[in-house]
Amino acid sequence: MNKKVCLKDLRKKDYKEVWDYQASLLSGIVSLKKLNRSSAVVKETPNYLIFVEHPHVYTLGKSGDISNLLLSEDQLKQKGATFYKINRGGDITYHGPGQIVGYPILDLENFFTDIHKYLRLLEEAIILTIAEYGLKGERSEGETGVWLGVGTPFTRKICAMGIRASRWVTMHGFALNVNADLGYFDNIIPCGIRGKAVTSMEVELGKKIDEEVVKKKILKHFKDLFEVEEYIID
C-alpha cells in the first residue's frame, strides 16, 4: 500500500479548471486499479492532496436543491461569481478568496476502506488545526463539516465538506473559512440548512490569519491521522 501523498498547491485557480483536474487524477487512478487486476505486475496507485483558492463560485451537490441559490444569473454576474452543479455529495456551498480549499484524491485502499471514517478524519484534521488557535471545533449530528457552538443558539459552520468516491478513490473535499468574505454566504442557504450561521477564523479571532501557516497545520494533522509516510512536493 502506497501511503505517500503528492502535495500540489495550485494557489488561485478557476473552479471548473480544478474540478476537471481532479477528475483526470481520479480517472487515472481508477484506470490503474483496473489494469492491476489483470496484470502480473501490480503498480502502486498514487495519492494527491490539492490546496487551492477559488475566485467567487457557488457549487451545488448532486442531491442539492437549486432553490437554495438565492441569486439569478444576472445577479451572479454582478457579484463576480460563477455557479456549477457538480458531482459531490451535499447541497450548496460557496468558495472564494480567503478560504483554504483542500481536495484529497486518495486511493482509500492504500489507507482503509471506510467512507464514514474518511469523512470523520477530514473533520478531525480541521478540528485539531483550529484548536491550535483556541477555537473549539465540533461535529453536528447528521451534518458533515466542522462547527462552533454546537447545541447553542449560536451554532455556526467554519468548514464545509463534500466528497465523491469511485472504486474507493476520492475527490472534492473541504473548505475552511480563514479570511473569507462571509457576505457571499448571504446569497445561499448554506448546505441547505436554514437557521445556522457561517463563520471564519478571522471573525472568531478578530484578526487576519496567515493562510500559509494554517495550511502547514492542516498538513501536519492530515499526515498524523491518515498515517501518511511522506509528502512529495509537486
Q: Is 173 annotated as a binding residue?
A: yes
Q: Is 125 annotated as a binding residue?
A: no
Q: Are 97 and 181 in contact (CB under 8 A)?
A: yes
Integer angstrom CA distances of residue 98 from 48, 94, 145: 22, 12, 18
In sequence order, what are the beta bridge partners of 85?
A: 60
What distance in Å separates the CA atoms of residue 40 and residue 112, rounded to the nearest whole number?
Answer: 24
Q: Is 88 annotated as a binding residue?
A: yes
Side chain identity at 60, as an amino acid letter?
Answer: L
Q: Is 95 annotated as a binding residue?
A: yes
Q: Is 234 annotated as a binding residue?
A: no
Active site residue 191: yes
Catalytic residue among 5, 25, 191, 214: 191
Q: Is 89 annotated as a binding residue?
A: yes
Beta-carbon count within 10 A of 178 CB: 23
Burial of 193 (0-12, 13-18, 19+ CB in 10 A): middle
Query: Residue 188: which of 96, 120, 52 has the closest Cα?
Result: 96
Q: Is 90 annotated as a binding residue?
A: yes
Q: Is 164 annotated as a binding residue?
A: no
Check residue 28 and give left, alpha or beta (phi > 0: left; psi -120 to 50: alpha).
Answer: alpha
Q: Are 89 and 163 in contact (CB under 8 A)?
A: yes
Q: Is 175 annotated as a binding residue?
A: yes
Q: Is 114 annotated as a binding residue?
A: no
Binding-site annotation: residue ranges: 88-95, 160-162, 173-175
Active site residues: 191
Binding-site annotation: residue ranges for substrate: 88-95, 160-162, 173-175
